[in-house]
Amino acid sequence: MGYIPDYFCSYLQSSLSIIIFIFTIIKACLRSQFIEIPTKLHNLPPGPKPWPIVGNLPEMLANKPAPQWIHKMMEEMNTEIACIRLGNVHVIPVTSPAIAREFLRKHDATFASRPKTMATEAISSGYLTTAVTPFGEQWKKMKKIFVNELFSPLKHQWLQDKRNEEADNLVFYVFNKSKNLNHDDHGYVNVRTAARHYCSNVMRKLVFNTRYFGKGCKDGAPGFEEVEYVDAIFTLLSGPSTLARTGSSWNVTNPQEPAQEQAGNQAPTTAPTPPELVLGGVDNPSNAAEWAIAEMIDQPDLLERATEELDNVVGKQRMVQESDIPKLNYVKACAREAFRLHPITPFNPPHVAMDETTVGHYLIPKGSHVLLSKQGLGRNPRVWNNEPNKFKPERHLKSDGSVVVLAEQDLKLMSFSTGRRVCPAVMLGTTMTVMLLARLLHGFTWSAPPNISNINHHAPLVAVAKPRLAPELYIPTKT
């Protein structure tokens, strides 16, 4: 043999070491596919076979959007509970109300925590709030404050005037848009804009005692600052990682001091500023109202039935008020149907298992992330067997005529959840949703723009609104 240079020997040695390392990894991966799994792990819910180390991340990344892939996978496997492994975390999606009740009622104490992530830590200012904060003393303390101080029945009654001002501002804004039928915008109303800014106005009024951060507009429309504010809120809601990258939480410039109670008792000296307090009150009510009106425009007989109920209960000599809500069963049924059919997000925030337990005869390992599918619960054909994909508000009406409520304790649809992690502002959320929808239906007739036969449900709802009450009723007493 001839002479082999030292550098070439070193190269061969390094290459051989790399080849041996790769071969060892491949061998370990292949072995892990056939290694005997402990007996109890065979009891995991059904799901796609995970890859070593990464789990089902490759499938999820290759089949975007992930919620669509999850629902399709569960449908193909004919299961209402599944197990997807992402890295070393078991993700448990659920589409069955019965199984969902096991998680949030029978085993509620076990699944009362939340996962820790960079995004949730940032949005909660270091887990100082409630919605995304893991189970513990801080969460217990904040929940007590939210339930007893911020969203109590007494506080709800005390702040009614603030909510009334924004309900008046809503119809004032839509009325002014509707008068421009012959102008450039043709009198079209962007219902998404109106609904989102109504909800945002209510929350700002309750938290900061102000409608506008800037000058606002005389016609009730949002100003530049409010448009940016709401756009930022929905950017956060659609992708919380944007907040995580900033490494900061909300800072609102120059908020006014909170209002003083009219009865003479002093209000709290500081307004609460967890961003989630503002975020949580904007998306659900606005989304439900927009979808309800879009569906009702497609089915004019539903619009007619809703306005008939409003005229019978309220009349045409005044605007609908919060005191009318108990009697507006059909309007509330429309809101429930929007929650059922068109949830704002595919899944609810994850519930983390604090201990290993068994649900639905399946093992749920400690640390699992349980995702209740809003879409799967609301469209489950075993529960909603009468045209589950069709908007039919009458399915929520009681045969005995009893009062319809938006909360759903049996989890046949997802509105405000249940158990320890139930939304603490159910009363406020219900009031905002019903008043938003009722004011829009009572004050205006709605139709699709000319030459449009079907509403585009993938875009913001833009529709023609025509006032149906006396003009003076649209002018707020306080602007």
More confident residue, 32 or 342: 342
Residue 38 has pLDDT above 50, yes or no: no
pLDDT for 141 equals 93
Nearest CA-CA partner of 194 in 441, 456, 453, 469: 441
Residue 265 has pLDDT above 50, yes or no: no
pLDDT for 94 equals 98
Model confidence band, residue 246 (pLDDT cutoffs 50, 70, 90) = very low
pLDDT for 41 equals 54
Tokens 């589409």 belong to: 95
Question: Tokens at residue 478, please?
Answer: 């306080």
Is 268 in a helix, a strand, or coil? coil
pLDDT for 42 equals 62
Model confidence band, residue 237 (pLDDT cutoffs 50, 70, 90) = confident
Q: Are 430 and 405 in contact (CB under 8 A)?
A: yes
pLDDT for 242 equals 32
Number of helices followed by number of strands (H, E) in the chain: 17, 9
Nearest CA-CA partner of 191 in 279, 284, 293: 293
Residue 419 has pLDDT above 80, yes or no: yes
Tell me phi and psi for residue 68, to 5 degrees: -65, -40
Give the whole-number percent of the chain exceeding pLDDT 90.
Answer: 60
Amino acid at 249: S
Question: Tokens at residue 422, please?
Answer: 């139930």
Burial of 7 by CB count in 10 Å (0-12 exposed, 13-18 middle, 19+ buried)?
exposed
Model confidence band, residue 236 (pLDDT cutoffs 50, 70, 90) = confident
170 Cβ contact partners less than 8 Å away, ≥ 6 residues apart = 194, 198, 220, 436, 439, 440
Model confidence band, residue 33 (pLDDT cutoffs 50, 70, 90) = very low
Looking at the DSSP bridge assignments, the partners of residue 212 are none
Model confidence band, residue 106 (pLDDT cutoffs 50, 70, 90) = very high
> What long-range pairs does 114-119 form, CB within 8 A, spacing at least 24?
114/349, 114/350, 114/351, 114/352, 115/350, 115/352, 115/369, 117/244, 118/241, 118/244, 119/240, 119/241, 119/243, 119/244
The span from the CA of 277 to the CA of 205, in Å, is: 12
Residue 284 has pLDDT above 70, yes or no: yes
Minimum mean pLDDT range among 6-10, 130-134, 232-236, 439-443: 6-10
Residue 9 has pLDDT above 60, yes or no: no
The span from the CA of 94 to the CA of 53, in Å, is: 24
Residue 241 has pLDDT above 80, yes or no: no
Q: What is the pTM of this model?
A: 0.82
Measured at the alpha carbon of residue 366, what is the angle toward residues 423 and 138, in degrees to the nearest 5? 40
pLDDT for 366 equals 97
Nearest CA-CA partner of 473 in 200, 170, 157, 197: 170
More confident residue, 134 or 40: 134
Model confidence band, residue 185 (pLDDT cutoffs 50, 70, 90) = low
Minimum mean pLDDT range among 24-28, 336-340, 393-397: 24-28
Residue 2 has pLDDT above 70, yes or no: no
Q: Is the dihedral of CA 401, 407, 412, 414 positive or negative?
A: positive
362 Cβ contact partners less than 8 Å away, ≥ 6 residues apart = 43, 44, 45, 81, 83
| Cα-trace Rg, the chain | 27
Across residues 339-355, what is the average pLDDT? 95
Across residues 83-87, what is the average pLDDT? 96
The span from the CA of 272 to the CA of 276, in Å, is: 10
**Helices 300-313 & 426-443 angle (0-180, nearest 10):** 100
pLDDT for 15 equals 45
Q: Are 56 and 50 in contact (CB under 8 A)?
A: yes
Residue 334 has pLDDT above 50, yes or no: yes
What is the distance between the terminal CA atoms of the chain, rounded to a whole angstrom? 98
Q: Domains in the chain, ordered, with CATH?
A: 158-258+266-344+389-474 (1.10.630.10)
In order of 57, 130, 138, 141, 147, the CA distances from 144 in angstroms are: 38, 10, 10, 5, 5
Model confidence band, residue 399 (pLDDT cutoffs 50, 70, 90) = confident
pLDDT for 1 equals 44
Amino acid at 437: L
Question: Tokens at residue 226, please?
Answer: 């409010």
pLDDT for 186 equals 59
More confident residue, 428 or 29: 428
pLDDT for 150 equals 85
Measured at the alpha carbon of residue 441, what is the angle toward residues 438 and 447, in degrees to the nearest 5? 155
